[in-house]
Amino acid sequence: MPILRRTRTAAPPLPPRQEGMQRKTKTKGSLIQRKQEMLGQKKTVTVQPEVVATTALTVVTAAHVIRLKDYENIQTRLYKRTQGDYYGYHRVPWTIQVRKEVFIPGEIVNNNLVQELIFRQIVVDVHSNNCIRMTKAEKRMMRSLLQERDIFELNISAKMNFAPDIIEKARQLGFYFCRFFPVISRSRNLHVDYIGVSHHSVVLVQRSTDPMQDQLRTIESFEFSELRNVKATTHGNLRIITKSDSIVPLYTRRAVQLKNMIDGYITFQQEDSQFVRAIRDYSANESTLLSFQKGDVIKVTEHEVIKGNRDWLYGVLNGKTGFFPSQLVEPLAGQSSQIHPPVNKSHVEGKEKSDMPGRLSMEEFAMKHFREIPDSVGEATATKEAKGFLGSVKQSLRKNKPKKRSIDSNFLLEYKGLVSYDHSPIHVSLMPLEPEENNIAKDCFIALMQIMGDHPYQKRSADEATSKAVYRCFQQILKTVRDYEVLIDEIYCHVVKQTTHNVSVDSKSCVRGWRVLYVLSMFAKCSDKLKPYLCRHLEVCSSIEAENKYSAMANSALLNLQKTLKYGGRENLPSKEEIDKIMEGKLFKQQPFLIPESTQRSVRVKGNTLVEEAIRSICEEMNVVQEEDVNEFGILSITVRNKETERQLLRGEVYIMDAVSSKGSHTLVFHRVSWRRKLKIEREMLLSMLFHQV
């Protein structure tokens, strides 16, 4: 039996509940009494507010879900915040759960806490047998998706990097993020229990009454672009009129609220969308990309991620949303083309315009910044061998080369050879350099070929292990980018060249090259001149998985580069063990941290994991998530070198692998460094750590 406890607080009050008090609205006491009359089975009451919101409150007491239609007559009332006394429940037989019910028009989830809560909700619902918002087929698909990424309820905090993809995939489901309204059909040929409104469509749903198979079934679905008008009366009559002049008559007590909600989505899509037609097929395996076939009409909407990016669009097709290249579509008649560049349908040597190099491509960078081969040998330091390497392309272009360097795709197509794989070492640097730097660049290119297996190793002895020779080549490249800043862009171009259109006889050549780029992106900060071209190259390679099997490595290299551009590269050269693991494809390692309770905690780190990221990971295990609370903790590095002990509190922007790769024996200690805030202790791990530290 619930116990009433009198409390004074500033929290939002609940309505008074005392004997003899009469309310105009029905109390929870009457609901509980009504539930007891229904055979004691599990029941859920969903209280739906009269305004459009994004969450729903659910009261759970047993194992069955009450039909919403039974509670059609329940009236609710919103009580304002007050500083006075109020009565609340204590030791109740039910719990209140908050869930994400629907996305409002134009909503973008950019808050980390909200993103995590939605992510947790999806994972729990996928593994639950009580969630009827997903069909069996959708559940199997989502479970398979989670299993591929090793996502379970117990490790959600460690898998937050997958949250955007999983949330986007769930948004594409039929009615998972959908608000349901109980309705009665006015048509004899239409049997409907609910009408659902989501961010992409309006669905008419029928619910199975079989207790062994409780599920929802879609009777009919309408995209907002198919709706012409929605009419509602205060008496509950609702008429949905489509552009094909079909009418769906329904009855619901919330007809006005339902009409306002649908009108909000229609207005938003009319103001912020355009329609385009696909001029060729596009198939993508990535959940954030939108696949379509030639001739499909796609509704284009605005998205924060691609604002200012004219190469990609965000659209809706058949209830599914995602990004797609703007070069593959054309505007419909009467539609403006301001959100994407005009499409040229012409073909060049059998290739479509989208297959040709475009703006910010490496071909354009080569045209603008690679060295020119002079007409006479004496005009520069280029040798006859250099002419054989670059002159075969550049000199053949002189006749057709425009007076000004343009970014015409037809002309850029001729520069593919300069940024594509080469079987032989270069005889001159790709970019104009001084003679000494030119020789160093040529040596680094040979070292790259040796790592990729395209050039014989120079072993110091016959019995020297290949891994030592590979590590020596890595040291040569990384020391060069550390000591010669002017060569960083040159070496980046080397790796991009050898991983593009790789036709090596060694099947592992290309993947080794991508792993070199992964390591290089952790250490070397490219110039502002190369930055847009390199980032664009990695974005393209990482987004189109159907055409590039190295998309995962390209995405990792892109993330490394973005972090290097923000925080700077790593300071210490990697150890041989770290390079060996990376070349084996093992990008993570378990790094131990000492806790004041004399135990160790292992955190999964990569080569570019920051100290602040490791702190946040351990804090999540202790349920410390507020930014101000996380700042109370730190990591202490204890180094024993030459029988001397050094202690240093690591800064948040320091790389973990830099802290443990210097000479000496290293121990990392996680502890609390500030006691300014009063922490809410909910986990035994936090309590034990603070106790032993004090």
Confidence band, pLDDT 50/70/90 cuts, at residue 474: very high
The pLDDT tens digits of the residues spanning 335-386 come to 443 444 333 333 333 333 334 455 678 888 888 888 764 333 333 333 343 3
pLDDT recorded at residue 85: 67
Question: Burial level of 572, CB count in 10 A (0-12/13-18/19+)?
Answer: middle
pLDDT recorded at residue 526: 92
366: left (phi over 0), alpha (psi -120 to 50) or beta: alpha
Q: Above 50 in pLDDT, residue 324?
A: yes
Residue 206 CB contacts under 8 Å (≥ 6 apart), including other chains: 191, 192, 193, 194, 216, 217, 219
* Partners of residue 180 on adjacent β-strands: 196
Mean pLDDT for 392-413 is 47
pTM above 0.75, yes or no: no
Confidence band, pLDDT 50/70/90 cuts, at residue 515: very high
The pLDDT tens digits of the residues spanning 565-604 come to 988 888 888 888 899 999 988 888 888 888 887 677 888 8
Q: Above 90 in pLDDT, residue 518?
A: yes
Strands (E), 91-200: 95-100, 178-182, 184-185, 194-198
The pLDDT tens digits of the residues spanning 88-126 come to 767 777 777 788 999 887 777 878 888 989 999 999 999
Mean pLDDT for 602-614 is 87
Q: Above 70 in pLDDT, residue 688?
A: yes
pLDDT recorded at residue 209: 65
Spell out the domains of the chain, with CATH numbers in brackets: 3-100 (no CATH), 112-171 (no CATH), 178-271 (2.30.29.30), 273-353 (2.30.30.40), 362-583 (1.25.40.530), 589-693 (3.10.20.90)
Q: Above 60 in pLDDT, residue 3?
A: no
Classify the C-alpha dihedral 306-308-311-315 as positive or negative: positive
Classify the C-alpha dihedral 345-346-350-356 as positive or negative: negative
% of the chain residues with pLDDT over 70: 71
Mean pLDDT for 660-666 is 79
Q: Above 80 in pLDDT, residue 316?
A: yes
